Structure 1
Amino acid sequence: MEIEIPHRLTTLGHPHRLALFRLLMRRYPDRVPAGEIAGALGLKASTLSTYLAALVQAGLITQGRAGTSLLYAVDMENVRQTFDYLLMDCCRGRPDICAPVPVAEKTTAFDRKYNVLFICTGNSARSIFAETLLRSLAGDRFNAYSAGTKPRSELNPFAISQLLVKGHDISGLRAKTVSEFSGPDAPQMDFVFTVCNQAANEECPPWDGQPISGHWGVPDPVRADGTDAEKSLAFQTAYGALRRRIEAFTALPLASLDRLALQSALDQIGREHGKSTE
């Protein structure tokens, strides 16, 4: 332990290795392909390989394989061990002086709705689906919002068609940027979900109030090729995957779960109700 912890901290002292580690933390518990990491961070394959090897050797991430692809994920047991060591050794076991924000016993107040934000890159299909579904399924308990990191100028027509076929009200839907939800007058979020890998890979500023976050990546239907019928099927599949996740989310006993239990449940929903690879 005495040797491992300084080695891990030294490894994270390099800015590019730290950026790589932070990306994998944002994607936890996903296993992310090396090629996707390289694209998100703008690194050459040889450079990325060096950084990944250093993080694996330090015990901060794990390496796996699916077919010909190398997949990487945070080694959460070792990461927690490192954080625990810092808290107990450097802070002498005093979370009152070292923890940035105490973990609340309950997720939010009982006398208001939960605010939920869904983020993808274009905010033209997947996050729009999620916003509409949550509003439709549980609008009495949740305020649903969506935004894009690089929003398109208009919503995808196949997405709009899918919502109309399912009987949803599409009035008021529009593509929005995440900056609309980070200003002083913006609603404070209780939950923030990314529904595409590209958005999850991007650096975002911390949200006020430290909302609980989750990554529910869904393959991008906008990329579907083929006939209009084949494209429509891709949008229907994305809609179905998000509906299953949101149904599971709204079924959770939110008021009776502490933050750690709720975060675990949200991660489990992401794993059980569809793949997050694109």
Structure 2
Amino acid sequence: MEIEIHDRLSALAHPKRLDLFQLLMRRYPDSVPAGEIADALALKPNTTSTYLNALKAAELIVQSRTGTSLHYSANLPAVRGLFNGLLGDCCQNRPDLCLQTSGDPIMTSPDRVLNALFICTGNSARSIMAEAILNAEGNGQFRAYSAGTAPSGQPHPEVIELLSQKDYEISNLRSKSVDEFASDAAPQMDFVFTVCDHAANEACPTWPGQPMSAHWGLADPVKTEGTDAQKHLAFQQAYGLLRNRITAFVSLPFETLDRISLQHKVDDIGRMAE
């Protein structure tokens, strides 16, 4: 049976189903385990299953299996079809009504500095490391910041020691809230990266200037259990993964990539495993 526009709109009409759909759109192109969705939205497992089935029936999301775990992701072609039906067919492709995607590169001039914000929950480890790495490795082309959805108050001592040993600038590093970057007075971001799943699942502020966003999730070294050597190794591994991703990021040809191509590139970087 063909899915009509009203079927998809009906599936999104329920507030909780809409919350679930928006979570999967924030995490796109990643797939998210059903249990993680339930935890993020504070839903009972059977309620989550009901909402997932409704969105799946409307073909707005797709299901996959990893081992015994069911994962879900946004069905982007169907979502595009919904908006094309609303803003293309219905408005006869009027340019004053329809959404247009710019083909211009994000680097509008050779000397433009691009701002990037890294977000995690506590802003004590992963996002702090990413801020320091990009500011050092960006060759003056980038200005990096970091923030947390629930800031811990200070960077983790292990992070400060690690960065100091590697000769990164640490004097300006501090734990701060995402709210600090949501005001009109804040620096306007060109990129916003989430580096933990929990922060990516949350609804963040609407950033001025519509920056590009991507999810670069990795395990939180702060939560590592075991010996001191194992904990130390976890911080080293997180640093290594972030440095590899940021090295790949700063090497992109920003002066030639349009926004869609660049989005695909930064999404791919977020899936780098080492």
Per the normalisation by structure 2, the TM-score is: 0.95
**How is 1:1-278 mapped onto 2 (pairs within 5 angstroms)?**
3-99=3-99, 103=102, 105-110=104-109, 111-271=111-271, 273-274=272-273
Structure 2 residue matching 1:128: 3-state secondary structure: helix
Does the residue aligned with 1:21 lie in a helix, a strand or coil? helix
Contact map agreement 2:29 2:73 (CA 8 A) in 1: yes
Given residue 4 of structure 1, which amino acid in structure 2 is its aligned partner? E
Matched position secondary structure for 2:255: helix
The residue type equivalent to 2:104 in the other structure is E
Percent of residue pairs bearing the same amino acid type? 58
State the alpha-carbon separation in 1 of the partners of residues 121 and 243 from structure 2: 19
Distance between the aligned counterparts of 2:96 and 2:197, measured in 1?
A: 35
Shift of 1:208: 0.7
Give deviations 1:134-184, integer Å, cap 9, x for gaps: 011014100110011110111111212221232212111110111111112
Contact 1:108–1:190 (CA under 8 A) maintained in structure 2: no
Asked whether the equivalents of residues 184 and 208 of structure 2 are also in contact (C-alpha less than 8 Å), the reply is no
CA contact under 8 A between 2:129 and 2:163: conserved in structure 1?
A: yes
Per the TM alignment, residue 96 of structure 1 is displaced from its structure 2 partner at its CA by 2.1
Q: Secondary structure at the match of 1:79?
A: helix
Give, in whole Å, the separation in 1 of the partners of 2:176 and 2:139: 20
RMSD over equivalenced CA pairs, Å: 1.6
- SS in structure 2 of the partner of residue 116 of structure 1: strand
Contact 2:151 2:177 in 1 (8 A): yes
Query: Using the alignment, how far apart are the partners of 1:220 and 1:145 within structure 2?
Result: 19
**How many angstroms does 1:84 deviate by?**
1.5
Could you say what secondary structure the match of 1:122 adopts?
coil
Distance in structure 2 (CA, Å) of the matches to 1:244 and 1:108: 22
Checking the alignment, whether the CA contact within 8 Å between 1:87 and 1:95 is kept in structure 2 is no
Q: After TM superposition, which residue ranges in structure 1, 4 or more long, deviate above 6 angstroms?
A: none
